[in-house]
Amino acid sequence: MNDFEENLKAVFREVFDDQSLELSDHLQAQDVEGWDSIAHITLIMAIEEAFKVQFLTREVMSFKNVGDMKECLWRKLH
């Protein structure tokens, strides 16, 4: 699980241009500076590219926080 978490964190840090950003399951858009709807798409695309997966529209719609994303991504990878 460690590499997975590190890689995901790296994507977040790059997208939000913040090298001190830490991820927690409860983290959501309003907690992060610059996480607006446009950054959200960039984030989803960056995750898709980094992990070579594609999210379904239904999945993207259901993401409420980082925990949701992580769980969905983890399921796709296993």
Partner 1 sequence: MSLHRLLTAGRSIEKSSCTQFLKIAVISDAATQHYCEALGATLKLRGWWPEIYEAEFDTIHQETLNTSSGLYLHQPKFVIVFQSVQALAQRFYAVKNKKEFAEGHVTDLLELWDRISSNLACTLLHHNFAVPLDRPYGNQSLAYPTSFIGTVTGINAKLNDLVTKKNIRLIDTEFQASYFGKRNWFDERLWCQARQALSPTFLAPLVKSISDTLLADRGLTTKCVILDLDNTMWGGILGDDGIDHIEIGPTEIGLAYQRFQQYLTELRDRGVLLAICSKNEQEAVLKVLDTHPDMILRRNDFVAIFANYDDKASNIIAIQKKLNLAFDSFVFLDDSPFERDLVRKAFPEIQVPELPEDPGKFQTELSRWNFFECNSSASEDFHRLKYYKDDEERAAVRAKYIGLDDFLFDLEMSAVLRLFNQFTSPRVLQLIHRTNQFNLTTIRYSKSELESIIEDANTYGFCLSLSDRLGDNGIIAVIILRKESIDLKVDTWIMSCRVLGRRVEELILNIIVDKAKELGCFRIIGQYIQTNKNALVKDLYSNLGFVDAGSVEKTKLYSFQVETFEAKKIPIVLEPNHISQEES
Q: Write out the residues near partner 1 by the rule CB under 8 A.
A: 14-15, 17, 37-38, 40-42, 45-46, 54-57, 60-61
Q: Cβ of residue 37: shortest distance to partner 1, in angstroms?
A: 7
> How far is Cα 66 from Cα 15, in angstroms, rounded to an integer?
14
Cβ-based nearer residue to partner 1, 30 or 54: 54
Tell me how far the alpha carbon of residue 76 is from its chain's centroid: 14
* Shortest Cβ 76–partner 1 spacing (Å): 15
- The distance of closest approach from Cβ of residue 57 to partner 1 in the complex, given in angstroms and rounded to an integer, is 5
If the CB atoms of residues 26 and 53 are measured against partner 1, the closer one turns out to be 53
CA–CA dist 75, 31 (Å, integer): 25
Q: What is the number of other CB atoms lying within 10 angstroms of the CB of residue 31?
A: 11
Per DSSP, 20 falls in state T
Q: Which is nearer to partner 1, 1 or 61 (CB)?
A: 61
